[in-house]
Amino acid sequence: MRIVMSRKNSVAVALALSLISTPALAEMSAEDVARLGTELTPMGAIREGSEDGLLPEWGGNIVGLPEGLSWDGPGTPYPDPYGDEKPLFEITKDNVDQYRDRLSAGEVAMLETYPDTFRIPVYPGHREFAYADSLYAKVRYNAEHARLTNNNEGIEHYIGGATFPVPSNGAEVVWFTRTTGAFVSRDGEYSDIATFPNGSASTRRSRFVQESPYADRNNPLTEEYEYPNLDKWAAYIMTYVTEPTRDKGLITSIFEPYDYATDAREVWRYLPGSRRVRRAPTVGFDTPDGPGGLKTVDEVRGFNGSMERFEWKLIGRKEMFIPYHNYKFDDPNVSYKDLLTKFHANPDYMRYELKRVWIAEGTLREGERHIYAKRRIYVDEDTGLTAITENYDGRGELWKVVLFNNIYEYNGEAYVRRVQMYHDLRAGAYIAERLINDSAPMLYDVSPVKGPAYFSPTNVRKLGRR
């Protein structure tokens, strides 16, 4: 446990909450860099709170496990630091107009589509937790050096950790959230469950292993450790399906780049039926994924993969009620029957707080193909994590709404994405991904690094035949 004193709070200044998108191919301006850690937080967020006090001023005075909170350590359930709090109020179909200015179009659509069951419990806001200083040092380095390249397909002079903490265009918002990974290794088992309007459910259970060499906090902040000098690949990812029976033994290994113009994503799959490893070049974009195929590959974590099919613009920064500090959702004493109710997760286990988010909108480029013609992404300014995404069809109608939970991970001294819920408003079905109520929390930077060879097609074949 480590408790640090509050970082120096400078006098808050009035900042516009709505920003104009401008092209920016160079690194952040010296003026914006100088504001990090002073006028702005080390992650580029506005320090001051909201006028009504629902969003508090940033404190950042707790790094790691809070004093007085008991925890058995990595791999055991996280204690909820705010477990005794009650909602300040709830937003429902009856009072939605009162709060509409602080809701996304997707949240409003959920209230209107499921008026009898969906509600938004709003809790007191908290901004006490901070990232480890080593992670903020990476953010600062990236702010001074990193820039987009190859028509936003790649990033250069990047050293790991979040980049573009003060994004000046839509593409930088996307890269801000896709580079927030704070851990070299992640290892655990989780369930993905699709719930359908007739009450049936479909489960996929997987072992998950990921290694991200640029996330190493021990890497020196020097040019030798910038992408791609340290490693050609940004991340190595492997999933091993253990349920359902028909898919048991299916192994997928992914090599993920930071520049899709020079190195396309590489995917191999071990098929237990044929006992062979095959390359899967089409895993990406709008390839259906998950139980029931209710989501696309490229909407995982908000947006991932090549940027080539969408043109992104910055909409602005706005105060919004978003899922936050969702420890209660992961409680192992809560059954999936109680948690995953029809149409959406049980609101009794959700928690929302008022936060500021960056908003970017992606429009399908002329001549490109995708099941979504437009998409919006809402990124929390304090953490860089995606909070909500919305996906629209070719007629401009809202089709899918994704809600993202998060928690502060005490051992790793950083926020992490937790359960991600993909709602198909037309089908009345949804997928809840990365559920751990029936397993254990994922291990972050606890397991020894396995190295690139572990994820290779040769090793995938060996693992599959054991």
| Enclosing domain of residue 143 | 2-175+191-201+288-437
Whether the per-residue pLDDT at 6 is higher than 80: the answer is no
pLDDT category, 3, cuts 50, 70, 90?
very low
Q: CA of 195: how far to CAs of 10, 115, 292, 298, 335, in Å?
A: 48, 18, 9, 21, 14
Per-residue pLDDT at 19: 36
Range from 45-54, 55-64, 284-293 carrying the lowest mean pLDDT: 284-293
Structure confidence by residue, pLDDT tens digits, 400-433: 999 999 999 999 999 999 999 999 999 999 999 9
| pLDDT computed for residue 7 by the predictor | 36
**CB neighbours of residue 378 within 10 Å:** 26
**Could you tell me what percentage of the chain is helix, strand and coil, using 3-state DSSP and rounding each to the nearest 5?**
20, 30, 50
Residue 253 lies in a domain: no
In which band, very low, low, confident or very high, does the pLDDT at 364 lie, cut at 50, 70 and 90?
A: very high
Which tens digits make up the pLDDT trace of 232-281?
999 999 999 999 999 999 999 999 999 999 999 999 999 998 899 999 87
Predicted confidence at residue 360, as pLDDT, reads 98
Q: What pLDDT shows up at residue 381? A: 98
Q: If pLDDT is split at 50, 70 and 90, which confidence band does 447 have?
A: confident
Domain-embedded: residue 459: no
Domain assignment present for residue 100? The answer is yes
Structural domain contains residue 60: yes
397 inside domain? yes
Q: What percent of the chain has pLDDT over 70?
A: 94
The pLDDT of residue 377 is 98
For 1-10, 90-99, 193-202, which range has the lowest pLDDT when averaged over its residues? 1-10
In a domain, 251, yes or no: no
- Domain-located, residue 207: no
Rounded CA gap, 89 and 182, in Å? 33
pTM summary value: 0.93
How distant, in Å, are the alpha carbons of 17, 21, 53, 118 from that of 49? Answer: 12, 24, 6, 28
| Residue 465: per-residue pLDDT | 82
| Residue 248 phi, psi dihedral angles, 5° rounding | -60, 130
pLDDT surpasses 80 at 308 = yes
Task: Decide if 280 is inside a domain.
Answer: no
Q: What 3-state class would DSSP assign to 413? A: coil
- The number of folded domains in the chain is 1
Say if residue 129's pLDDT is above 80.
yes
Please give the pLDDT value at position 26.
53
| Whole-number Å distance between alpha carbons of 272 and 155 | 37
* CA distance readout (Å), 292 to 205, 295, 296, 372, 429: 14, 8, 11, 18, 9
